[in-house]
Structure 1
Amino acid sequence: MNVQVVGNFDDAVNDRPSSSTVQKLIRLSAPAVIIGVASALVLFAVEELAHRLEHLLWSALPDLLGLSADSGWWIFGVLSLTGLAVGLVVWLMPGHGGPDSATIHLIAPPLPLRAVPSLLIAGVLALGGGVSLGPEAVIIGINVALLVAAFRWAVPSIPTELIVVLTAAGTVGAVFGTPVAAALVFTGLVGGMFREGALWDQLFLPLLAASAGAVTMSLLAKPQFALDLPAYAAIEPVDLLSASGVAVVAAGLGLAASAVFAPVHRVFRTLRNPVLYITIGGMLLGLLGVIGGPLTLFQGNGEMSELVTQRAEYPASALVLIVAVKVLALLISAAAGFRGGRIFPAVFIGVALGLLTNALIPSIPLTVAAAGGVLGMVLAISRDGWLALFIAVALTGSVTILPLLCVAILPAWLLVSRGPEMIVHVSQVDVLEHTAGIERRP
């Protein structure tokens, strides 16, 4: 392959941002900080609403009625009613809950403001009702719609595309409690958006928005993702093979779920009315919750901490059941029309798969197995290697494991790169029609 070199090495090393670039970055710094802070505040407010609903449905009400929230009937009933409620929102409310989460990537075009209330309600119902989806897609959708509208009115000179990127960066920084995740995720995106300037110049504003979001969220809620895993002090040669093997198995499981995602989505849509197919989705989730138990409900963030802390109570057979149920729950939650993201459930599945690997092969360190499982599963579901690496390292709380995971991601990426994605590819017309609540006739 022929490579054309522009300029010389010394020029590249001594390159400095132009005065116009510096002035532009300084001028946009304040909006970036405002966007980051606002993104975190909305995230905090939505999660508070979801937590209050969760407390009502899974603690206050069963206590008032003298019932156990862990009983099969309660789990089935709450998830079935959650499906009914979300179905009614998607069917009847203005905006219809925004576009189907199964048809859009994490960063999507801005929604009309009329869709925000229905998206908010549908997202809070899913999060509080125990659906196996995370908050990231809903929060980014709400934040982008609100902040794009606000800046179009207040500062119309700032491009909408930049507002979308900064809002997504601020939200990702707030969700993970650190700007590092946003910096990694947006490395590829800004490289494609901005054709001039060094990469650091391009990342400056997204990183600033992410930092503001992370700091704000840390002050409000102090998010913590590190699990109580054994310390990993030094890399052993055999661990390179172990981590790679676990990552490949996890990626393969994620690809298998992705391969059937679109067909499952189509089966649900044959019912046409969202009240029908989302309610049935809730009932199926209820049945899975009865089989897998409370640990397989919700987005999985708190549940995976509990799983790791109490891992001695779960033999390999129980972990197989947990992994299988959670994969099916993620598949149904995302395909049946619930609003939410797929990253957090994927992290839970990766952790559970790592625990299962360690239970079957105790010679593989638990931390290596868990990190490899998270790496492979998040990679398959998100198709973002940076995000997969970051989450795997963050959950272990060990920088020592990073070189190991940089090796493990290579075979996993070779498997994933040409495999099916967990997204339903539809035309823009179809997405807009769904947002408007229009069902196409055959």
Structure 2
Amino acid sequence: MASQQSVPNRQPAPATPAEATGAAQLKATLLSPGYLKLLLLAALVGIPISLVAFGFVSLEHELQHWVWESLPKALGYPVAPSWWPLPTLALAGLLIAPVIVRMPGHGGHLPVQGLGGPPQPPRALPSIVLAALIALPLGTALGPEAPLMALGGGLALLTVSRAKQQADPRLGLLLGTAGSSAAIATIFGNPLVGAVMMLEAAGLGGPQLLLLIVPCLLASGLGALVFTGFGHWTGLGIGALALPSSPTSSTPDAGDFLWAVPIAALVALVVVGAQWLGWRTVAFTRQQTAVRTILCAVAVGVCIWAYAALSGRSPEEAALSGQAALAQLAAHPHAWGVGALVLLVLCKGLAWGVSLGSLRGGPIFPAVLLGAVVGVACSGLPGLGTAAGLSIGLAASGTAITGLPVTATLLAMLLIGDNAANATPLLIVSSVVAFVVSTKFRAKPAS
């Protein structure tokens, strides 16, 4: 009988004095009365913020439905005609220009700047809400996520006095971030995506990450509960980013992974190109802001009209945030010809780029649609399936626009649902490629 060598049991290395001190401080902070009060406050604040956010997205959704479906039918058109975005976007520019120029907060941050930065002061909230309710229903190629985050963060700050915020700057940051998490609890289809996004965007690590994650998860969970309950009770829709159905996929093969690199790079370049246009639009609107904002809104309308006129399809596909078009594309990817998909990338990409630098809304939803369109358009390549192309586009676009590969991968996994188990390695590769390419070529603000 062969002798067996005994393998010593390896015990974890003892903690260094610094690690032991850090762990003790973290435990003391987590169990301190002040932090427990913060968790209670995050829970209590998360419920009313979620109610306000639900009302906001429901109103925006109803206004959008009225502008693009009910009103055309009332005027005798079964669907919105190709020229419909010309008057709606011109009206959006006329209405939003005075909000941007004259009201405190200027309608919120420019979408090209990203997720929005620190929580907005409460006095800026009226202009943020008004600008979003003007721009989004009338067809601006932007999503609702940035105004929602600003709304949630600003409302959370209302619960903390200025004196307390000045005494402990972390209090405002933690509570504002939790408020933003509550407000976007289900707009990405799952509360976990919003919480992970807030944490990854914060750039924290170690004990600081744990201190932030608990109130964010608590607020997100309660917010999702409110959204779900009120959605069932009222029957109102919120237009969350979700795919009711998508192409069934098998385990990705070598061809899928080989195509993932160039397609993810292409998606990243499309996103970076739109951001470059956004920054040039920012420079254009610095002078004569009101007039040039109106001109930009009209330009967005022209881009959307061009897509509808040239493709013969609905202008809604190039307008708005892209949530409905994404669901349709995933459910019926072959309903679009390659030419129509290329037109959609070109026209919506231009409309989105101009919107990023001049109007108000969120940058993420349109980017995800454009990535999915590029992926589906490339799915006819040898060795690449439709489901794989869609997966590549979803992961790459989310990473390119947010710069957050973990969040983007999680969002793509949740979007493709039952296919996630097979597609996860492909999603990760696509996210990494898009992260590297977009970081390398991302445009800087125009001077």
Normalised-by-shorter TM-score class: 0.7 to 0.9
Report the Cα distance in structure 2 between the residues aligned to 1:49 and 1:202, rounded to whole angstroms.
31
Q: Tell me, yes or no, if the aligned pair for 1:172 and 1:181 is still in contact at 8 Å.
A: no
Report the Cα distance in structure 1 between the residues aligned to 2:251 and 2:296, rounded to whole angstroms.
45
Is 1:304 equivalent to 2:319 in the alignment? no
How many residue pairs end up in the alignment?
412
- 1:164 corresponds to which residue? 176
| Structure 1 counterpart of 2:368, from 347, 364, 378 | 347
> Any idea what the Cα deviations from partners look like across 1:10-41, whole Å, max 9, x if unmatched?
44999685244234553332222233333322
Change (3 A) 1:135 1:38: same
How many Å apart are 1:262 and its aligned residue?
1.7
- 1:433 corresponds to which residue? none
Report the Cα distance in structure 1 between the residues aligned to 2:174 and 2:89, rounded to whole angstroms.
38
For normalisation by structure 2, the TM-score amounts to 0.83
| Structure 2 counterpart of 1:373, from 387, 393, 403 | 393
Deviates further, 22-31 or 121-130:
22-31
What RMSD in Å do the two structures reach over aligned CA positions? 2.9
For normalisation by structure 1, the TM-score amounts to 0.84
Change (3 A) 1:348 1:180: same
| Structure 1 counterpart of 2:126, from 117, 122, 137 | 117
Report the Cα distance in structure 2 between the residues aligned to 1:54 and 1:127, rounded to whole angstroms.
7
How many Å apart are 1:316 and its aligned residue?
0.7
Deviates further, 402-411 or 312-321:
402-411
Letter in 1 for 2:373: A
| Structure 2 counterpart of 1:403, from 425, 434, 440 | 425
Q: Secondary structure at the match of 1:262?
A: helix
Large movers: runs of 4+ above 6 Å: 12-16, 153-158
Deviates further, 400-409 or 152-161:
152-161
| Structure 2 counterpart of 1:255, from 272, 276, 299 | 272
> Any idea what the Cα deviations from partners look like across 1:127-154, whole Å, max 9, x if unmatched?
1111110111111112212220223279
> Any idea what the Cα deviations from partners look like across 1:65-99, whole Å, max 9, x if unmatched?
32455213322111111111111322344543234
Change (3 A) 1:202 1:319: same
> Any idea what the Cα deviations from partners look like across 1:377-396, whole Å, max 9, x if unmatched?
22222111122212221221
| Structure 2 counterpart of 1:77, from 83, 87, 91 | 87
Change (3 A) 1:225 1:9: farther
| Structure 1 counterpart of 2:261, from 237, 241, 244 | 244
How many Å apart are 1:119 and its aligned residue?
1.5
- 1:278 corresponds to which residue? 293
Q: Tell me, yes or no, if the aligned pair for 1:320 and 1:356 is still in contact at 8 Å.
A: yes
Deviates further, 376-385 or 318-327:
376-385
Q: Tell me, yes or no, if the aligned pair for 1:244 and 1:409 is still in contact at 8 Å.
A: no
- 1:387 corresponds to which residue? 407
Report the Cα distance in structure 1 between the residues aligned to 2:270 and 2:437, rounded to whole angstroms.
11
Change (3 A) 1:235 1:50: same
- 2:245 corresponds to which residue? 228
Change (3 A) 1:260 1:282: closer
- 1:313 corresponds to which residue? 335
Letter in 1 for 2:346: A
- 1:289 corresponds to which residue? 304
Q: Secondary structure at the match of 1:269?
A: coil
Change (3 A) 1:424 1:313: same
Q: Secondary structure at the match of 1:176?
A: coil
Aligned identity (percent) is 25
| Structure 2 counterpart of 1:9, from 9, 13, 23 | 13
How many Å apart are 1:280 and its aligned residue?
1.2
Report the Cα distance in structure 2 between the residues aligned to 1:19 and 1:300, rounded to whole angstroms.
46
| Structure 1 counterpart of 2:149, from 123, 130, 140 | 140
Q: Tell me, yes or no, if the aligned pair for 1:257 and 1:331 is still in contact at 8 Å.
A: yes
How many Å apart are 1:344 and its aligned residue?
0.2
How many Å apart are 1:204 and its aligned residue?
1.7
Report the Cα distance in structure 1 between the residues aligned to 2:241 and 2:430, rounded to whole angstroms.
25
Change (3 A) 1:73 1:33: same
How many Å apart are 1:281 and its aligned residue?
1.6
The runs of 5 or more residues in structure 2 that have no matched partner are: 1-11, 233-239, 309-314
Report the Cα distance in structure 1 between the residues aligned to 2:407 and 2:36, rounded to whole angstroms.
28
Deviates further, 167-176 or 123-132:
167-176
Q: Tell me, yes or no, if the aligned pair for 2:121 and 2:157 is still in contact at 8 Å.
A: no
Letter in 1 for 2:196: L
> Any idea what the Cα deviations from partners look like across 1:337-367, whole Å, max 9, x if unmatched?
x111100000110111111011x31631212
Q: Tell me, yes or no, if the aligned pair for 1:173 and 1:210 is still in contact at 8 Å.
A: yes
Q: Choose 1 or 2 for highest CA Rg.
A: 2
Deviates further, 114-123 or 22-31:
22-31
The runs of 5 or more residues in structure 1 that have no matched partner are: 1-7, 427-442
